[in-house]
Structure 1
Amino acid sequence: MNFFPVVDPGVRSATECYDLAGELAELADELGYEHVQTVEHYFTPYGGYCPDPVTLLTALAARTRRVRIVTGAVIPAFTHPVKLAGKLAMLDHLSHGRLDVGFGRGFLPTEFAAFDVPMDESRARFAEGVEACRRLWTTENLEWKGQFHSFGPVTLLPRPYQRPHPPIFVASATSAESCAAAGRAGHHLQVVPSVTTTEQLRGMLDAYRQAWAEAGHPPGGYRVQIKYTCYLSERHGEALARAEHWERSYVAHMARAVAPLAAGGGADYPGYETFAEKAAGYDFQRSLAANKVLAGDCHAVRDQITAIRADLGTDLDMSLQFSPGGLGRDEAVTAMRLFADHVMPAFPRARARSAV
């Protein structure tokens, strides 16, 4: 289950969002879902209710026992690595080793401006932040001299619950190069199909798998999380109507959040400057036909997932958003139960998860 609060405060309060996330996380634990995850964003209705995913995930960890707890993703550019590595190590202990750590570059100009971080440093800050956290988790008396941070020698406490460290994921929106770099480094991957073409996404996944294999990592040892919104109902038309309404809301909020990129603030983010233009021409039926959103009755959603697996591979973990926008609590609970009872059994897990 993926929790990404794209909602206006006038539609749903922060307290209501967090309470709903807690209830749905408990349900995910009960029904056999693999993980719950959330994002890091600031200021706008596009995820701004979650400026600190570690705080929310700590609360979800306390309410669950089995389901894994995932950052999807934290942004190293906005936090000193000693602080970030320490917070995540604490969460690894509080969840008794259920933490997966997704790291992302960030891409919203207003966020970089608020932290006084140039966007053209985002790639380098991301790479340094991920490696600094990994080294802090695994190295005693670490002395770090990087481009952006220098510290040490220090030994982080607590050491992570999982050894040598929690599984590391890299979030990539559109870049095959970033996916390949993650594969070479032996990191897992998080992708979002809504912001790419199917051909582009296929190329990203192929680049990742090839780089993983060429680097000599264990065959099949990687994990790929692919994120979808999911609108599921016993009545097909009802699910489609909800999906069209809330997907249009999501696209509109995303377009407003990324609008500053159109002013030239994202030279290192090719294609992002056209998001507003794409949003203006958004076609729900085309998005549904391309399987960028899952919607309908159980039979329809099963068919969509079958098509996705045939197109992109059977080695993907789907991370599903059942409570997008201001969708009602009862509708989200019903969708989660329907998916667990009537969709999930059609796709049995085929392989064990790697430790790191």
Structure 2
Amino acid sequence: MKFGIVFFPTVGGADGEATPTQYYDDGLHIAELADELGYFQVKLVEHYFFDYGGYSPDPTTFLAAVAARTSRLRIATGAVIPAFTHAVKLSGQLAMLDNISGGRLDVGFGRAFLPEEFAAFGIPLDESRARFEEGVEACVRLWTEDNLKWNGTFHQFGPVTMLPKPAQQPHPPVFVASTGNLDSCRTAGEQGRHLQLIASAATREKVQEALSIYRRARADAGHASGTERIDLTFPCFVDEDRAAAYLQGEYVERKMSEKMASAVSAWTTVKSDQYPGYDQMAAAAVRNGAAFDERVTENQVLAGTPDDVRGQLGEIAEWYGDDIAVGLSVHSGHLPRADVERGLRLFAERIAPAFAGGR
């Protein structure tokens, strides 16, 4: 089991909240510490307009700064959205980032799910899956082929040869980001992609079903066993004092739920058959924000003393496999940097060594 860190801003610069400059500065210092402590990866999302993720409209920009200030840490998009960026532009950005980082890039691609984002880019929600699949394939082929002529449904170009090619050959590891949609997991497995799951957003049974479908689809498609990479994300709050860890976690998770509920509120009036059940997202976010203790008990949130969190991770390894990577969501912008760094040190020194692969 390996451990990385995840940055997901849920601040918008309101009174008392971190400004963008403060958020990025804290994030860069946290990434430097993670590199020093031996964490294996830092991951950043792509979102627009809302306090929910809106400080990260271009994760490649921030990750380039992380790459310049670290030497071992893998940098990951979690995820970039092909529907919102032409494949020629996106593949070029990511190839540059892979070279700047010396071949440390993991590329997570996602479909996106906020109606206002699609509206701003002039993209119909009902095209999200098709645009995602076409965009991912086009990026991979631009990385690996010369004189590519592309005749897609949404874009046509070429013949062109992308420069630079990625540092990693034939291309950086490609992940599909999902909240647990079973069709997405099945397709990712069939195509031999890796998988990013927000495990905190689903029950144990749903995560297990998603992973089972993904692993079975990979095997049935003939992809070699043991070559897959699975990243699961969990919020994490560690302190020597359990009450202090819970106080941090309850505050951050409540803020997260408030910001998410606002961002997804459009789903109460917007409908798309590609997003079944999304009309319930705002209510689910509010419930999650009010059920912190329950979510800790269900291992959807990691919180408590080092002994507590070590025990939670032991159960997670039993549930999902000990070959997974765990992304610790630690930088929302709502906690002082000193608190985040203290938790990362405690985790690295008192928790990670108990697991094979450690950090």
Query: Structure 2-normalised TM-score?
Result: 0.96
Alignment equivalent of 2:332, drawn from 324, 331, 335: 324
Tell me whether 1:2 sits opposite 2:6 in the alignment: yes
Deviates more, 1:208-217 or 1:93-102: 208-217
Q: Is the 8 A contact 1:266 1:273 kept in 2?
A: no
Q: Is the 8 A contact 1:103 1:168 kept in 2?
A: yes
Report the Cα offset of residue 174 of structure 1.
2.6
C-alpha separation in 2, matches of 1:20 and 1:265: 38
C-alpha separation in 2, matches of 1:8 and 1:154: 40
The residue type equivalent to 1:154 in the other structure is V
C-alpha separation in 2, matches of 1:318 and 1:294: 11
Q: Unaligned stretches of 5+ in structure 1?
A: 351-356
Deviates more, 1:259-268 or 1:233-242: 259-268
Within a 5 Å distance, the mapping from 1:196-235 to structure 2 comes to 196-235=202-241
C-alpha separation in 2, matches of 1:165 and 1:171: 18
Identity of aligned residues (%): 51
Corresponding residue number in structure 1 for 2:273? 267
C-alpha separation in 1, matches of 2:321 and 2:45: 25
Within a 5 Å distance, the mapping from 1:36-115 to structure 2 comes to 36-115=42-121
Q: Is the 8 A contact 1:171 1:189 kept in 2?
A: yes
Query: What CA deviation, in whole Å up to 9, does each residue of 1:281-323 have, x standing for no partner?
Result: 3311111111111110100000111111111221210011222
Tell me whether 1:311 sits opposite 2:319 in the alignment: yes
Runs of 4+ in 1 over 3 A off after TM superposition: none
C-alpha separation in 2, matches of 1:193 and 1:96: 30
Corresponding residue number in structure 2 for 1:183? 189
Report the Cα offset of residue 278 of structure 1.
1.7
Between the two proteins, the alignment pairs up a number of residues equal to 351
User: Over aligned residues, Cα RMSD in angstroms?
Assistant: 1.2
Q: Is the 8 A contact 2:12 2:54 kept in 1?
A: no
Deviates more, 1:293-302 or 1:265-274: 265-274
Deviates more, 1:337-346 or 1:265-274: 265-274
Task: For residue 281 of structure 1, give the secondary structure of its aligned residue in structure 2.
Answer: helix
C-alpha separation in 2, matches of 1:217 and 1:180: 13
Q: Unaligned stretches of 5+ in structure 2?
A: none
Corresponding residue number in structure 2 for 1:118? 124
Report the Cα offset of residue 241 of structure 1.
1.1
Tell me whether 1:343 sits opposite 2:347 in the alignment: no
C-alpha separation in 2, matches of 1:309 and 1:8: 35
Report the Cα offset of residue 120 of structure 1.
0.5
Task: For residue 101 of structure 1, give the secondary structure of its aligned residue in structure 2.
Answer: strand
Corresponding residue number in structure 2 for 1:297? 305
Task: For residue 18 of structure 1, give the secondary structure of its aligned residue in structure 2.
Answer: helix
Task: For residue 228 of structure 2, give the secondary structure of its aligned residue in structure 1.
Answer: coil
Task: Name the structure, 1 or 2, with higher relative contact order (CA <8 Å, separation 6+).
Answer: 2
Corresponding residue number in structure 2 for 1:143? 149
Query: Structure 1-normalised TM-score?
Result: 0.97
Report the Cα offset of residue 242 of structure 1.
1.0
C-alpha separation in 2, matches of 1:79 and 1:101: 15
Q: Is the 8 A contact 2:9 2:56 kept in 1?
A: yes
Query: What CA deviation, in whole Å up to 9, does each residue of 1:10-52 have, x standing for no partner?
Result: 2000001100110011111111101011010000100000000
